[in-house]
């Protein structure tokens, strides 16, 4: 275990559904990240939160909506997704983005299938 827990591990949803991915870190870190992993782009950064503030949005479509209520929890709210959004969604944490200590600790991911 890396100290970063993601739920659910697997999710199948229709294009009209609304679902949320959850990530929790038990490492005392201040930065949390969402990455998308697919065959086309193996590790694509989506969002960065540093001390609960969003510091990076890598041109992600608005059908993905992140939420970071505190430094330990990160959510990714999904609505009206497309089949091409099917991928492994990975959460990660680090001591603090831009602090010089960029070691990332990843969760095991949520495998998302959009039908």
Partner 1 sequence: GENVEQHPSTLSVQEGDSAVIKCTYSDSASNYFPWYKQELGKGPQLIIDIRSNVGEKKDQRIAVTLNKTAKHFSLHITETQPEDSAVYFCAASSSSASKIIFGSGTRLSIRP
Give the binding site for partner 1 (CB under 8 A).
2, 4, 31, 33, 41-43, 45, 48, 50, 55-56, 58, 90, 92, 97-100, 102-109
Q: Give whichever of 10 and 16 is closer to partner 1, judged by the CB atom.
A: 10
Q: Give whichever of 15 and 27 is closer to partner 1, judged by the CB atom.
A: 27
Backbone dihedral region of 72: left (phi > 0), alpha (psi from -120 to 50 degrees) or beta? alpha
Distances (CA, A) of 69 to 51, 53, 73, 76: 10, 9, 6, 12
| C-beta separation of 63 from 79 below 8 A | yes
CB 104 to partner 1: min, Å: 6
Q: Give whichever of 75 and 105 is closer to partner 1, judged by the CB atom.
A: 105
Q: Which SS3 state, helix, strand or coil, does residue 60 take?
A: coil
Q: Give whichever of 28 and 42 is closer to partner 1, judged by the CB atom.
A: 42
CB 74 to partner 1: min, Å: 14
β-strands 73-79, 18-25 pairing? antiparallel
CB 31 to partner 1: min, Å: 8
């Amino acid at each position: 275990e890396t100290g970063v827990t993601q739920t659910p591990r697997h999710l199948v949803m229709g294009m009209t559904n609304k679902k949320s991915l959850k990530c929790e870190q038990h490492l005392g870190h201040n930065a949390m990240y969402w990455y998308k992993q697919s065959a086309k782009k193996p590790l694509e950064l989506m969002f960065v939160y540093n001390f609960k503030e969003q510091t990076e949005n890598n041109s992600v479509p608005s059908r993905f909506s992140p939420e970071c209520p505190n430094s330990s929890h990160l959510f990714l709210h999904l609505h009206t997704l497309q089949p091409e959004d099917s991928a492994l969604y990975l959460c990660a944490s680090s001591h603090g983005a831009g602090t010089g200590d960029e070691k990332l600790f990843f969760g095991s991911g949520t495998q998302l299938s959009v039908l």
